[in-house]
Amino acid sequence: MSILSGLAVYFVIWWLTLFAVLPIGLRTQDEDQNVVPGTVASAPTRFRAARIFLLNTVVSGLIYGAWYVAGTYFGIGFDDLPVIMPGLDS
> Are 64 and 9 contacting, i.e. CB atoms less than 8 angstroms apart?
yes
Question: Structure pTM?
Answer: 0.75
**What distances in angstroms separate CA 67 from CA 8, 17, 53, 73, 80, one per listed residue?**
13, 14, 21, 10, 13
C-alpha span between 54 and 62 (Å, rounded) = 13
Check residue 1 and give its pLDDT: 72
Contact call for residues 57 and 14 (beta carbons, < 8 A):
yes
pLDDT at position 85: 67
The mean predicted confidence, pLDDT, of the chain is 88
The per-residue pLDDT for range 59-74, each reduced to its tens digit, is 999 999 999 998 889 8
Helix or strand holding residue 17 (H, E): helix 3-21
Cα separation values, 18 from 11, 46, 86, 90, Å = 10, 18, 34, 34
**Mean pLDDT along residues 3-24:** 93
